[in-house]
Chains A and B, each alone.
Chain A
């Protein structure tokens, strides 16, 4: 039984990953067929998992309503709107009928950048609080932040050309160097992590604690 529960799935994981990796390097039409099938299967199985989310969300808000938790009318509103969106989406033509697109274009489309735009406030208040000449590290960060802020404000280069030139240069050289080094580091870590999972030595995925 233990094989069906733990080792089996782990070996299955490794086999699936092995086919996908090999297919990237070796030109063989059979392998490509297998890899395409696996990719497609993962898309389908992954789509099924969204049900877990919807069940979880529905349970939480139903509970809020039944137990009359504070602000429970909001939970009711959420469930109704979820139901409406789903029904609107499922009326044929699937996902492109008038009501569904109306909801998408008039609720989703403006709210997405609205929430995104909150970051503009947070990024400035974080800078105000964190970027102080506390020590050399933070001072350097502050210095380069200021250079780039002044470079990106159109008035900076227009009134004082060297700031534009300096700003361009730090973006081209320093930023490139740091990003590239970190990308290399992250890539190596990810590869090694993946290989450890395939060899079954990593705790966590299906292995649990202990």
Chain B
């Protein structure tokens, strides 16, 4: 009745071990754990500060996907980071605008802006700045480029799942002289961010934003588990390729079990 499907047994075990490991590390992690610097996350304050000095607005976009498919994690991570950026804006008095492509995130964006402003003791949050520009990739890009030229923000944050429109936004951002922080889990877009943006948040660094910015002990502990996962992957790859050089495929068989 409750039997495992074929070919996923080892995956299931890995997932369970991972979850248990995360739970344990979240319990035992202590304050003052070492954490590598992430320049893109350090730059959030600086970018907003520069926008305030120049008297120009801040532009934020949480990527182009919604929350019901496999792109939910980057989108939610982008909304987490939005709440930090909005809080900095509220504190420094910067005007923030949010551009949205997938209407699914609208309630979440609205709520996180509201609560970020409340946390700084401000009742009125910039509701008019939240705009749903368009629902498809290139109609969104078209509207976003026009909005950037119109409003001339001094800081652009483009974080979340994104595709080809990244470079259009980045290049227009340079044209209007904005400082740009971009981050994505979409590996194919990282080269363009590296070339065009001032700060790039690479791959899974976008998921670490909460732990990194809040120094929350629990979430920091869970990052330790990710490190162990990476070490596990490195080890298995090294041992596995050495074994397969000699024609032994036992590790492959175990992982495909």
Contacts and interface: CB of A to CB of B under 8 A. Distances in A.
Contact of B76 (A46, A179, A205): A205
Contacts of A189: 73, 185, 203-208, 226
A182 to B, nearest CB: 4
A24 interface: yes
Nearest to A179: B187
Contact of B171 (A125, A183, A205): A125
Contacts of B66: 46, 49
B108 interface: yes
Contacts of A93: none
Given A42-B68, A43-B68, A116-B164, A56 B106 contact: yes
Interface string B188-228: 00111011100000111111101000101011001101100
B80 A204 contact: yes
B170 interface: yes
Interface in A25-65: 25-28, 42-43, 46, 49-54, 56-57, 60
Interface stretch (A94-102, A126-134, A150-158): A126-134
Interface string A116-159: 10110011011101110000000001000000000000000000
Interface string A174-190: 00000100111110111
Contacts of A209: 83, 87, 112, 115-116, 118-119
B137 to A, nearest CB: 8
- For the residues of A in contact with B, the DSSP-based class is helix
Interface in A56-94: 56-57, 60
A194 B77 CA distance: 10
Interface in B230-251: 230, 233
B5 A25 contact: yes
B230 A184 contact: yes
A56 B19 CA distance: 40
A1 interface: no
Interface string A183-210: 1111011111111110101111110111
Nearest to B87: A209
Nearest to A42: B68
A42 B83 CA distance: 25
Interface stretch (B37-45, B52-60, B127-135, B151-159): B127-135
Nearest to B230: A188
Given A188-B204, A196-B219, A204-B80, A122 B168 contact: yes
Contacts of A4: none
B3 A26 contact: yes
Given A197-B76, A209-B87, A192 B194 contact: no
A203 B185 CA distance: 19
Interface string A13-32: 00000000100111110000
B138 A112 contact: yes
Interface of A: 21, 24-28, 42-43, 46, 49-54, 56-57, 60, 111-112, 115-116, 118-119, 122-123, 125-127, 129-131, 141, 179, 182-186, 188-197, 199, 201-206, 208-210
6 contacts: A24-B5, A25-B12, A49-B107, A189-B208, A199-B22, A202-B219
